[in-house]
Amino acid sequence: MYTKNVHAILDYSVEGKEEEAQFDLALEKTLQNINFAKEKQSIPFAVFKPTGFGKFSLYQKITESKALNSKESGEWAKVKERYNIVCKAAYDNDVPLLIDAEESWMQDAADELIERMMEKYNTKKAIVLNTLQLYRWDRLDYLKNLHIRAKEKGFIIGMKIVRGAYMEKERERAERNGYPSPICKDKQATDTNFDAAIAYIMNHKNMTLYVGSHNELSNYKVLQLIEEMGIAKNDKHIWFGQLYGMSAHISFNLAAEGYNVSKYMPYGAVRDVMPYLIRRAEENTSVAGQTNRELSLLKKERNRRKKL
């Protein structure tokens, strides 16, 4: 891929485990990826998932402001230690680190940890990047409030912007438990939210933006903003990304035009990685809506090659 200027991000896609040894393994894999990335221009980022480093139930209890027992307090201390170890390694090796987002009822605890890491390591540039799922109607306000705190404390924001991959689960849980859904009312509202978050980041200097989208129109809108604002195509603060195996026409055309592009490459035991991939295929409406489009492009390319 790199011969076509398309970068790779190695993503150890294991999440939702329950044992400390599994969390330590995820930390070890992420540290290995950071060390690998520092030697390879083709690998611009490392990445991990919050529940790769600690129990979902811990994040949830803290998000819900529930007290931890002594055992849980010890486990949470280890989670915070893992975050600090990996973020320090990213800082020491100058490898930006993407941290994925997960379900809303555990995300506040992850956001708080990530903000502490930004405050500690993003003093000169965005080394630690959080993820905003813009199918949530509250995320733009969160970004704006984070920006206020960043200016007060003197740290730089890095954000990966996605629509999200837990929509059905979020709505079903909200209905089952009788609270307002955190998900935007429809796709148009999500698209508007997504575009607004990108515009907000691009209109404020020094923030780093990673656009994680398989939606052609969304990517076109970012290109339009880049042109209107006179930003260089290869500006180091703006990246585009798609999953390996999906939306190749977006990735390779962006790269051919000189933009910064990477492909997420999930790996790990099949039983652990498949839920990650299936969730995105099923719940990412942008991907689902373009399945026929991708199939037609593949057929067109196959016919073109037959004629060569």
Q: What pLDDT is stored for residue 282 in this prediction? A: 61
- Residue 271 or residue 18, greater confidence: 18
Q: Are 126 and 208 in contact (CB under 8 A)?
A: yes
Q: What pLDDT is stored for residue 286 in this prediction? A: 46
Question: Which residues in 275-293 are b (16+ Cβ under 10 Å) and which e?
Answer: ebeeebeebbbbbeebeee
Q: What pLDDT is stored for residue 280 in this prediction? A: 61
Give dist(CA 130, CA 254) in Å, integer.
Answer: 23
Task: Check whether 240 has a pLDDT greater than 90.
Answer: yes
Say which range, 71-75, 161-165, 188-192, 291-295, has the weakest mean pLDDT.
Answer: 291-295
Among residues of the chain, what percentage have pLDDT more than 70? 94
Give dist(CA 164, CA 93) in Å, integer.
Answer: 29
Q: How many domains does the chain have?
A: 1
Contact partners, residue 103, CB within 8 Å, separation at least 6: 56, 166, 169, 170
Task: Check whether 151 has a pLDDT greater than 90.
Answer: yes
Q: What is the CATH number of the domain that holds 78?
A: 3.20.20.220
Say which range, 78-82, 113-117, 127-131, 264-268, has the weakest mean pLDDT.
Answer: 264-268
Encode pLDDT of 263-278 as tens digits: 999 999 888 888 777 7
Q: What pLDDT is stored for residue 248 in this prediction? A: 93
Q: Which two tokens stand for residue 212?
A: 């994680």
**Domain containing 17: what range?**
2-306
Confidence band, pLDDT 50/70/90 cuts, at residue 246: confident
Encode pLDDT of 177-230 as tens digits: 999 999 999 999 999 999 999 999 999 989 999 999 999 999 999 999 999 999
C-alpha torsion sign, points 218, 156, 58, 10? positive
Q: In Å, how far are 83, 141, 279 from 201, measured between CA atoms?
A: 25, 12, 27
In this prediction, residues 149-178 reach a mean pLDDT of: 95
Q: What's the chain's average pLDDT?
A: 93
- Residue 36 or residue 17, greater confidence: 36
pTM of the model: 0.92
Q: What pLDDT is stored for residue 288 in this prediction? A: 52
